[in-house]
Chains A and B, each alone.
Chain A
C-alpha cells in the first residue's frame, strides 16, 4: 500500500504509523483522507502475521492530532450524514481496539477530540512530559459530543466523574494530570518516546489507583450513586449554561441512558446523539464562531515580524495595571510609569491580584509569580524607555493630556518603538497630530478586565503605516488575544454598538421598567450580564462621558439618556464605589438593587413583554452595526460579530449579532425598527441606509 497522509513502517516486527505527513499546517487534524488511509493501514496490520505490536505517533513537533477537521463537521448537512460519518470513524477506531497485538499511542503536543479518541482506542498511551502536551475532548465547545467512541472509552478508562469533567467542559489536562487520572500509562521526556516505544509497548502501566479513586469508581458502578452524580452534573451544567446550550445536557442524557450497554449499541447511540447535535442552530453557530476566531489567528508571513521584547505602560490605573500584567505574563518585562507613587501601587495591585488568582488555582507557582510580578518596573521617570518596543498609553481620557504625553514620550523612545493609546472613546486621528512620526502610532483598545476579555481593537488613522498595524496584530496574537482592526470613529467598533444597548436600557428605566426586569431580559437573551449590571461594571461616570462623546460624534441617534448624569451627581458610580444600579460589598460582590438609584426612577412600574424589551435593546445594536458597515469602520459582518463576542461576550450560541440578525430576517428587523421609530423615538430607531438596501436587495449581512 502507499499512503500520502500517514507513514507506515515496520521495524523489528513492530508497525509504526505516523500522522502529520505532508501537512503544511503545524497543527495536524484528522481529515477524511487520513482516516481512510488509517483504515487501510489497520487492515494491513491485522493481516500481517509477523506484526507483534502497533505504535501510533506524529511527525509534527508539537501536535499528535488536534482533532477532526472542523470544516468536515461544518459540512455535515443532515443528521443521517453526520451519523454515517461518526460510524465510519468509530469502525476505524474499533479496528485498533480489536487488534490481537498490543497498540500504543505516543503523544507529544496536542491530543484533542478525534485525536484523543484515537489514542483511547489504543491499549496504552505514552506521553511526553512537556508542557505543550495536553489531552482533551473539546467537542462540547462546538455544540456536539465526541462521536468516535470518546464517550464510550473515556469513562471506561478514567471513571465516570472524571470523564464528565472533561467531556462537559472541554477542558484540557497536561500529561502529569493525565497520568494521575489514569488517562495515560507512561510519561517520559519526548526524545525517549519513539526509541523506547518498542519496549514500553509490552510493559505494564505503573498507574496505581489511590484509595479515593477506587472508591469513586466503585461508587459510580452503583445505580443510586450514579443517579446522584448525574443529578449534580446536570445542576452544574444548567447553572453555567443557563440552558442555552443543548450539547452538555444531551451528553449527560446519553451517558446516563446508555451506561452499561455493549459497545456496538453504545456507539450507535453516540453517533445518533452526535447527528442530532450537529444539526442544531447552536452547534452551527458555535462552529461559525470557531472559524471567526480561527480566521482572526491567520496572518501571512507572521514569523518575519520581530517580537516585542519589552513593553511599557503609561498610567498605572486599573487598565494600566492590567496591561502591565499582560506584558509581564508574556515575558515582556514592562516599565510601568505613572505620575504618582499612589498610581503605581494601584497598577501593581491590579497585576498582583490577577497573578495571585492563578497561584491560588495552581496555574502558577509562587516562584513564577515572584518573577513575573517583579518583571514589572514601576517608575516615575522615563529611565530605560530607550529599550521599549511597544508602549501603551492608558492615562486619563482627556485629549489634551494624551497629546501632551505623546509629544513628551516620543522623545524618550527609540525610532521603531510602537506607540499606542488605550483610549476607548477619543479620536486616534487627533492624537496622532501630537507626534512627529505618526506612522508608528495607532489605537490599541483593551477591554476591562484585561485578563478576562479576549478582544483588542487595533485602531487605524490616516497616517498609520501598514507595518505598524501588522506588528500590532502579531503582538496581539502573541499575547493570546483576539485582534480586530478597525477605523477611527467615536466608540470604534465594540463600544459604538454597546452604547445604544446601554442607552436604551437607561431610557427603558426612565419609562418605568424596573432594573431587575431589564437585566433579566438581557440575561435571558444570553448576555453574560444584564445591561444595568454591565453599566455598574463600566462605571456610570465613564458611561456618561462616553455617552456625551457618542452624541457629539454621531448625532441624535445617540442622544444620551440623562439618567447616568443624574446618577453621577448623586455619586452613584457603579461597582467602583460600591453603589450603582446595585450595591456591592467591599469585595465587589453584588448585593441587591440600590434603593438610592430606585429613587431616581419613576414610581410607577411599566410592564412590557420580555420580547419587546429585548427588541428595544438589541435592535438599535443591529442598526448601529449596519451604520458601522456603512461608515466602513470595519470591513465585514464577520468582524463585527468577532468583536462583539470577544469584546462584550455577545452569546456565542447565537453566532454573533449580525449572524443572529440574518437568521431572524432583516425585513422583520427593519419593520420593527420603523415601528419603534414611530412609537418610541424617530432618531434612536432611524434605520440605516445599508439595512434598507439589504432588505430591498433581499440580501443578508453575511452576503456583503
Chain B
C-alpha cells in the first residue's frame, strides 16, 4: 500500500438548520472549499483525478452533487466526480474511497468530503397523491379528467417529511432517537448523565470558539437571504447552556418515559467539509506540506436498533488493521449523535464482557480529556453527509495545534454501522 496524504482539510461553518446557511444550495457548501484548496496549494485545475462527495439528502435538483461541485469549483471538465451515501458516515466513506484509490496507485489527487443542507430537505407528496397527478396527466378527455378528479381525498395532501423518513430505520422501524433511548435503557444511562455530557460539549465548543481554535479549519461562506452576509463561525454552541436548563426540556422521542431530548442530541445542521488527499508523487510534484497521513479506515455493521455502538466496533477494527491500540491515540473523536449513545460506547469500550457480546476486545477506558476536546455534534451540529470528513478535519487540526501524533475519528451510522479513521500528524512534536 502506498502512503495517503491528507494535505489539508477545511470546512464551512456549521449552522443549525433554518439559520445562517439555510439559503445555501448544496453544491455551494463544497465548491468554495475545493476552490480555496486548489488556489492555496496551487494545484493545476486539470490534474485533479476525482471529486468524491458524501451527501445523504440527495436533492432532486443535484442527484450527483459531487460532479456539480467539481464543476462549480472551477476544476477542469474532465474531472470525474461522484456522490457517495453511507448515511452519517458519507463524508468518511468519500475519504475511504479516496484512500483506497491513492493507496493502490490508481489516483494521485482527490478531493473527498461531504455536504449537507438539511434546511432544504423537501416535503414529499404521498404515493396516493403522486398517483393522482399521474392519472390526471394520462387523462385526455374532460370526462376522464372528472373521473380521476373524483378519486381525490383531502388526506392525500398531507406531506411526507423527507428528513423524518430519512432518520427512521427502514429495517427495525425505530427512528434514530429511539435507538438512543434503547441504549439509555439497556446501559442504565440517566437523564442527568446525558445532560451533563451535553452541557460539557457546549462548554468545550464555546471555549474552542473563544480561543479561535476553529479559525484555521473554517472557510467563511456567504450566507443570508440576499447573499450579502459572511458566516465565519459555527451557529450552535450556546453560551448560556446549563445543566438545569437542559433538565427542563421534555423528552422528544419517548414523550412519557424517555430521557433523550433535543438538548442532549445533536441538532439538524447545514455544513460541508473537504480534504485534499494526495499520493507521495503528487506531494513531491506540487511541493506540498501535508498536515497528516491517513493511516487506515474501517467500517463495521451491527444490529440497526443499537447503531449507536457502531463507533466502538469500528475503532476496534481500524486499530487492529493498523496494529495499534487505543492507548496510542492522543486524541479521540466519537461523533455525538446522542449523548446516550456516546456514553454507551464508553461502557462497551472499557468492559471486556460487554465488548465480547459484540465480538470485539475491550479497547480500554477512554480518557475524557482526549475525547471530543473541542466539543462535538451536540454543540457543533451534525450535517449528516459532511460529519464523517468534518470529524477528521477537526481532529487533524487539533493534533497539529498540540503537536500530537495519532488521532482516531469515529461515528455511528444510521442503519446499524460504525466507521473509524486513524490519522497521523506529520509535524508531531512541532507545537503550532
Q: List A residues at the B interface (Cβ < 8 Å).
A: 333, 335, 341, 344-345, 348-349, 351-353, 356, 369-371, 373-374, 376-379, 383-387
Interface magnitude class on chain B: 20 to 34
A254 to B331, CA, bound (A): 85
Q: Which residues of chain B are near A348, meaning CB under 8 Å?
A: 222, 227-230
Contact of B227 among A341, A370, A385, A386 (CB under 8 A): A370
Assess the A384–B36 pair: CB atoms within 8 A: yes
Q: Is B397 an interface residue (CB 8 A)?
A: no
B108 to chain A, nearest CB (A): 20
Assess the B36–A376 pair: CB atoms within 8 A: no
Known: A333-B74, A383-B40, A384-B36. A376 touches B226 (CB 8 A): no
- Which residues of chain B from 225 to 262 have any CB-CB distance to chain A below 8 Å in the complex? 226-230, 232
B234 to chain A, nearest CB (A): 15
Assess the B32–A345 pair: CB atoms within 8 A: no
Known: A352-B226, A377-B32, A386-B39. 12 other contacts (CB 8 A): A341-B220, A345-B228, A348-B230, A349-B228, A352-B227, A356-B226, A370-B28, A370-B227, A371-B72, A383-B36, A383-B40, A384-B35
A356 to B225, CA, bound (A): 11
A303 to chain B, nearest CB (A): 23
Q: Which residues of chain A are near B301, meaning CB under 8 Å?
A: none
Q: List 18 A-B contacts (CB under 8 A).
A: A341-B220, A341-B232, A344-B220, A345-B228, A348-B222, A351-B228, A352-B228, A370-B25, A374-B32, A374-B227, A377-B32, A377-B35, A378-B222, A383-B36, A384-B39, A386-B39, A387-B38, A387-B39
Q: Is B16 an interface residue (CB 8 A)?
A: no
Q: Which residues of chain A are near B28, meaning CB under 8 Å?
A: 370, 374
Q: Which residues of chain B are near A386, meaning CB under 8 Å?
A: 39, 42
Q: Is B298 an interface residue (CB 8 A)?
A: no
Q: Which residues of chain A are near B36, meaning CB under 8 Å?
A: 377, 383-384
A372, closest chain B residue (CB): B227
Q: Which residues of chain A are near B228, meaning CB under 8 Å?
A: 345, 348-349, 351-353
Q: Which residues of chain B are near A373, meaning CB under 8 Å?
A: 222, 227
A351 to B222, CA, bound (A): 12
Q: List B residues at the A interface (Cβ < 8 Å).
A: 25, 28, 31-32, 35-36, 38-40, 42, 72, 74, 220, 222, 226-230, 232
Q: Which residues of chain B are near A356, meaning CB under 8 Å?
A: 226
A374 to B219, CA, bound (A): 13
Assess the B40–A341 pair: CB atoms within 8 A: no
Q: Which residues of chain A are near B42, meaning CB under 8 Å?
A: 386-387
Assess the B40–A376 pair: CB atoms within 8 A: no
Q: Which residues of chain A are near B31, meaning CB under 8 Å?
A: 374
A353 to B228, CA, bound (A): 8
A348 to B230, CA, bound (A): 8
Assess the A378–B220 pair: CB atoms within 8 A: yes
A160 to chain B, nearest CB (A): 38
B232, closest chain A residue (CB): A341
Q: Which residues of chain A are near B35, meaning CB under 8 Å?
A: 333, 377, 384
B73, closest chain A residue (CB): A333
- B contact patch SS: mixed
A349 to B226, CA, bound (A): 8
A488 to B25, CA, bound (A): 46
A379 to B39, CA, bound (A): 13
Assess the A341–B230 pair: CB atoms within 8 A: yes
A673 to B327, CA, bound (A): 92
A257 to B429, CA, bound (A): 91
Q: Which residues of chain A are near B230, meaning CB under 8 Å?
A: 341, 344-345, 348, 378
Assess the B39–A376 pair: CB atoms within 8 A: no
B61, closest chain A residue (CB): A367
Assess the A345–B72 pair: CB atoms within 8 A: no
A391 to chain B, nearest CB (A): 14
B74, closest chain A residue (CB): A333
B341 to chain A, nearest CB (A): 36
A316, closest chain B residue (CB): B230
Known: A341-B230, A348-B230, A370-B28. A384 touches B40 (CB 8 A): yes
Q: Which residues of chain A are near B32, meaning CB under 8 Å?
A: 374, 377
A379 to B220, CA, bound (A): 8
A350, closest chain B residue (CB): B228
B220, closest chain A residue (CB): A378
Q: Which residues of chain B are near A345, meaning CB under 8 Å?
A: 228-230
Q: Which residues of chain B are near A378, meaning CB under 8 Å?
A: 220, 222, 230
Most buried by A among B31, B40, B72, B228: B228
A383 to B33, CA, bound (A): 12
A373 to B228, CA, bound (A): 9
B31, closest chain A residue (CB): A374
Q: Which residues of chain A are near B74, meaning CB under 8 Å?
A: 333
A369, closest chain B residue (CB): B227
Most buried by A among B38, B40, B72: B40
Q: Which residues of chain A are near B227, meaning CB under 8 Å?
A: 348, 352, 369-370, 373-374
Q: Which 4 A-B pairs have the closest CB atoms?
A: A384-B39, A352-B228, A349-B228, A373-B227
A236 to B426, CA, bound (A): 71
Q: Which residues of chain B are near A384, meaning CB under 8 Å?
A: 35-36, 39-40
B39, closest chain A residue (CB): A384
Most buried by B among A335, A349, A374, A379: A374
A373 to B74, CA, bound (A): 15
Q: Which residues of chain A are near B25, meaning CB under 8 Å?
A: 370
A349 to B227, CA, bound (A): 8
A510 to B374, CA, bound (A): 65
Assess the A376–B72 pair: CB atoms within 8 A: no
A371 to B72, CA, bound (A): 8
Q: Which residues of chain A are near B232, meaning CB under 8 Å?
A: 341
Q: Which residues of chain A are near B38, meaning CB under 8 Å?
A: 387
B45, closest chain A residue (CB): A387
B223, closest chain A residue (CB): A348
A376, closest chain B residue (CB): B222
Q: Which residues of chain B are near A387, meaning CB under 8 Å?
A: 38-39, 42
A377 to B74, CA, bound (A): 13
A233 to chain B, nearest CB (A): 36
A369 to B24, CA, bound (A): 12
A387 to B40, CA, bound (A): 9
B23, closest chain A residue (CB): A370
Q: Which residues of chain A are near B229, meaning CB under 8 Å?
A: 345, 348
B36 to chain A, nearest CB (A): 6
A414, closest chain B residue (CB): B42
A333 to B31, CA, bound (A): 12
A356 to B72, CA, bound (A): 20
A383 to B220, CA, bound (A): 13
A356 to B224, CA, bound (A): 13
B67 to chain A, nearest CB (A): 15
Q: Which residues of chain B are near A351, meaning CB under 8 Å?
A: 228
Q: Which residues of chain B are near A352, meaning CB under 8 Å?
A: 226-228
Q: Which residues of chain B are near A344, meaning CB under 8 Å?
A: 220, 230
A341 to B232, CA, bound (A): 9
A76 to chain B, nearest CB (A): 51
B40, closest chain A residue (CB): A383
A347 to chain B, nearest CB (A): 9
A369 to B32, CA, bound (A): 16
A342 to chain B, nearest CB (A): 9
A376 to B28, CA, bound (A): 12
Q: Which residues of chain B are near A377, meaning CB under 8 Å?
A: 32, 35-36
A542 to B39, CA, bound (A): 36
A349, closest chain B residue (CB): B228
Q: Which residues of chain B are near A349, meaning CB under 8 Å?
A: 226, 228
B288 to chain A, nearest CB (A): 14
Q: Which residues of chain B are near A383, meaning CB under 8 Å?
A: 36, 39-40
A412 to chain B, nearest CB (A): 11
A373 to chain B, nearest CB (A): 5
Q: Which residues of chain A are near B226, meaning CB under 8 Å?
A: 349, 352-353, 356
A387 to B42, CA, bound (A): 8
A333 to B73, CA, bound (A): 10
Q: Which residues of chain A are near B72, meaning CB under 8 Å?
A: 371
B316 to chain A, nearest CB (A): 39
B215 to chain A, nearest CB (A): 10
A384 to B74, CA, bound (A): 13
